[in-house]
């Protein structure tokens, strides 16, 4: 549905924020044993390739990002579609895992809940979401980029939906739109955030700026 200009193209690819290391490690752990992954709202991010996933399929609805992802060959296969209509594009249990990084907050609450249900049907083993912890206001960078945040997802409600929740990018006060650090120099405050992650927010996701939500699919 939209271009991913959140964590996966700023924090994960930017060398100035050391938290990218822990985020990649958390994602890798969440996807252990998964050889095929549907990357929902993939944007132009090569994160799944970087994690060593054997078969990567990206679903992206924003045409400029879809074309750029094709040019960069970010996935083994790319499908241009509205992420709100995944069930029309993919079969039940088609992939080991379905992943949506910085996606669900761009949907309304009803559409987000539908996305969760669709991904849980399409995945055989695991469903993974990365999203801000609670509602984080974010506006368009341009009129048609679909970057506005329309919903917030709290650790408690994700746990009620059956997800294991890990806090990332602590504390909230250090992060703004697109998960960017508010203070300078980036590297110093990135280290402060890293210390908070290691010693506090991993186990207290409500205090973190972002959450990684992982659900094991029954029978997977």
pLDDT digits (tens, 9 = 90+) for 67-119: 999 999 999 999 999 999 999 999 999 999 999 999 999 999 999 999 999 99
Residue 17 has pLDDT above 90, yes or no: no
**Which CATH number goes with the domain that contains 116?**
3.40.50.150
Q: Say which range, 27-36, 56-65, 99-108, 198-207, has the weakest mean pLDDT.
A: 198-207
Maximum average pLDDT range among 126-135, 187-196, 198-207: 126-135
In angstroms, the CA 181 to CA 110 distance is: 30
Number of domains in the chain: 1
Residue 128 lies inside a defined structural domain of this protein = yes
Contact 9, 25 (CB under 8 A): no
In a domain, 7, yes or no: no
pLDDT in the model for residue 144: 58
Alpha helix ranges (H) inside the chain: 19-30, 47-50, 63-72, 86-89, 109-122, 155-160, 186-196
Token pair recorded at residue 56 = 């990567």
Q: Is residue 161 part of a domain?
A: yes
The 10s digit of each residue's pLDDT in 33-56 is 999 999 999 999 999 999 999 999
How many whole angstroms separate alpha carbon 116 and alpha carbon 52? 24
Going by C-alpha positions, the residue among 155, 196, 175, 173 that lies closest to residue 7 is 175
Decide if 134 contacts 109 (C-beta within 8 A).
no
Tokens at 22, concatenated: 């822990």
Residue 9 lies in a domain: no
Examine residue 74 and state whether it is found in any structural domain, yes or no. Answer: yes
* pTM recorded for the entire structure: 0.81
At 193, the pLDDT band (50, 70, 90 cuts) reads low
Q: What is the pLDDT of residue 194?
A: 59
8 in any annotated domain:
no
Which helix (DSSP H) or strand (DSSP E) does residue 179 occupy?
none
Residue 13 lies in a domain: no
Domain of 24?
A: 19-216
């Amino acid at each position: 549905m939209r271009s991913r200009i959140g964590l996966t193209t700023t924090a994960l690819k930017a060398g100035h924020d050391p938290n990218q290391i822990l985020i990649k490690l958390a994602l890798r752990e969440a996807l252990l044993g998964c050889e095929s992954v549907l990357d929902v709202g993939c944007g132009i991010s090569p994160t799944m390739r970087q994690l060593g996933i054997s078969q990567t399929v990206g679903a992206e609805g924003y045409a400029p990002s879809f074309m750029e992802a094709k040019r960069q060959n970010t996935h083994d296969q790319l499908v241009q579609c509205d992420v709100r209509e995944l069930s029309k594009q993919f079969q039940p249990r088609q992939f080991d895992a379905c992943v949506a990084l910085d996606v669900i907050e761009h949907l309304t609450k009803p559409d987000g809940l539908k996305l969760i249900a669709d991904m849980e049907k399409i995945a055989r083993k695991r469903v993974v979401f990365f999203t801000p912890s609670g509602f984080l206001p974010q506006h368009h960078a341009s009129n048609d980029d679909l970057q506005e945040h329309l919903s917030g997802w709290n650790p408690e409600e994700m746990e009620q939906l059956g997800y294991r929740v890990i806090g990332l990018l602590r504390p909230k006060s250090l992060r703004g739109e697109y998960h960017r650090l508010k203070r300078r120099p980036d590297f110093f405050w990135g280290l402060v955030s890293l210390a908070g992650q290691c010693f506090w927010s991993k186990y207290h996701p409500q205090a973190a700026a972002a959450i990684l939500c992982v659900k094991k699919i029954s029978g997977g």
